[in-house]
Structure 1
């Protein structure tokens, strides 16, 4: 029997806003990100990691974003747990780079499925040591934050490959990020 896991989410919008023109007047339109299939605050077992004592299906969630800056040339999507017990280093659960700026989503189950990933997109290494999605699996009885960040870059691609580490991806993105949108969720694993 699987225990219920809860997810509370809050959308955080970056301070960088995309601007649109309507009737000659500038209106600030925020760059936002959304993660679907969270069913009224409950994290589907489908998205939980299958390993480390967790019994999920490890299916990557559908992620969509809207209103990136008009001058964006590529997108990077990252899922990161800052609360992982790694001595303050956190844990990267998924990273997809070189997504064309014309794209606005990653489909459910896109990880590990080239037919569902946008053309040219690359899944890089996570802290699980694989180049694919790894779902939430905090230690028993703890609650962690999972930060989904969509970064708009001013270059069409960054020089990384499938076996590039999260640190190398961050290094290659440095100075190229023009806007970010974040979605923050909390996931609690039952104590037993």
Structure 2
């Protein structure tokens, strides 16, 4: 009887160890496969106007008072947006400005079929033709307002493209950028960003 119980126990132990081994192999294969899939599908943002960590060119700098630039919104391209994306939004924010920071640009209503914006999309009328709406920035103008920090340490500018779950945020042209940002955050499925620098 004792020998029979020992045989049963050993068989049970072998079964559990075999099951554990196969389960671990299966999990490893699943993880490897899905990690590769996630790597291929990462929501990304690039720009022909600058690269992440670079200094903003004069073409994108604000053109007023001591700042002498082209005030052209940057070229942007994005890829691999999350499933269910109905539209895109774009913002540009100076996180180093005193107080709550400084809004340079906010756009909503970019159709889901669009995956890039040309340089100067803000002033050229390109965004308007798409049916997009631009917020009033902290320079108190509608559309893009480029970097123009006070003299001193360079500031960091965050350009973000958001994939949204809706195509209609019901925000009119010229509403404050902070309001745009709030509405964007409530429907964002994912985002991709570039951080660039500029100082005087």
TM exceeding 0.5: yes
Q: Pick 1 or 2: higher relative contact order, CA cutoff 8 A, min separation 6.
A: 1
Structure 1 residue aligned with 2:187: 176
The answer as to 2:79 corresponding to 1:51 is no
What SS does the aligned partner of 2:130 have? Answer: coil
Structure 1 residue aligned with 2:79: 66
Q: Which moved more, 1:113-122 or 1:137-146?
A: 113-122
Structure number with the higher helix fraction is: 2
Q: Map 1:111-122; keep pairs closer than 5 Å.
A: 111-115=122-126, 119-122=130-133
1:94 to 95, 101, 105: 105
Q: Map 1:1-192; keep pairs closer than 5 Å.
A: 26=34, 27-28=37-38, 29-38=41-50, 41-85=54-98, 87=99, 89-115=100-126, 119-189=130-200
Residues in 2 aligned to 1:91 and 1:76: alpha-carbon distance in whole angstroms: 18
Structure number with the higher strand fraction is: 1
In structure 2, runs of 5+ residues without a counterpart are 1-32
Residues in 2 aligned to 1:31 and 1:115: alpha-carbon distance in whole angstroms: 23
What's the C-alpha RMSD, in Å, of the aligned pairs? 1.8
* Residues 106 and 118 in structure 1, CA contact (< 8 A), matched pair in contact too: no
List structure 1 runs of 4+ shifted beyond 3 angstroms. 39-42, 115-118
Aligned residues: 163
Q: 1:90-149 CA distances to partner (integer Å, 9 max, x unpaired)?
A: 111111111011101111111122246551111111111111111111111221000001
Displacement, 1:59?
1.1
In structure 1, runs of 5+ residues without a counterpart are 1-24
Summarize the Cα distance change of 1:76–1:161 in structure 2 as closer, same or farther, 3 Å threshold.
Answer: same
The TM-score, its normalising length taken from structure 1, stands at 0.78
Q: 1:14-61 CA distances to partner (integer Å, 9 max, x unpaired)?
A: xxxxxxxxxxx6501110111222389343211111114111111111
Residues in 2 aligned to 1:115 and 1:79: alpha-carbon distance in whole angstroms: 18
Displacement, 1:166?
1.5
Residues in 2 aligned to 1:99 and 1:64: alpha-carbon distance in whole angstroms: 13
Residues in 1 aligned to 2:63 and 2:139: alpha-carbon distance in whole angstroms: 11
